[in-house]
Amino acid sequence: MTPRTDAPLTLTDFVRYQGASGDMNPIHHDPAFAQAAGYPGPFAVGMLAAGRLATFVTDAYGAASVRRFRVRFSEQAWPGDVLTYAGTAGQEREEGGERVVDLELVCTRQTGGVHLRGWATVATAAGPA
């Protein structure tokens, strides 16, 4: 899978995601609130990068091919961070009467830190795009 790098994260990205998800936790958009909670400022909504990582998979294999998808958050991302999504495919195998492959996924910050890790199983009838 060819890695994908997004534009730098912005506070507007956070607010747009929050509005779409209905989760308007002010720690993700209100600097005073985030600082009062002990953070230097608002930080990324974790599910924003998880959704983008899922899109990275569906762009490669198609949404209908996804059999499982999960993520684990590792470190926060902040406004200005540049996230890169990458993945490696394991060995194809037979499961439930179809060919599938497990993917190991990672979303890294420009610092080299891992924002989140992910795992997916996809059907491989069409193969990666």
How far is the C-alpha of 49 from the C-alpha of 82, rounded, in Å?
11
Sort 80 into a burial class: Cβ within 10 Å, 0-12 / 13-18 / 19+.
Answer: exposed
C-alpha pair distances (Å), 128 with each of 79, 93, 101:
31, 15, 11
Sequence-ordered strand ranges (E) for 46-97: 66-73, 84-89, 93-95
Could you state, in order of their start, the residue ranges of all structural domains in the chain? 4-123
CA 114 – CA 12 distance, rounded (Å): 22
Residue 4: the pLDDT is 97
Task: Report pLDDT for 127.
Answer: 47
Q: Which two tokens stand for residue 63?
A: 């949404």
Distance CA 49, CA 103 (A): 17
Domain 4-123, architecture per CATH? Roll (3.10)
Q: What is the pLDDT of residues 85-125, one digit of tens each?
A: 999 999 999 998 999 999 999 999 999 999 999 999 999 97
d(CA 74, CA 88): 19
pLDDT tens digits, one per residue of 11-64: 999 999 999 999 899 999 999 999 999 999 999 998 999 999 999 999 999 999
Spatial CB neighbours of 12, under 8 Å, sequence gap ≥ 6: none
- The CA radius of gyration of the chain, in Å to the nearest whole number, is 16
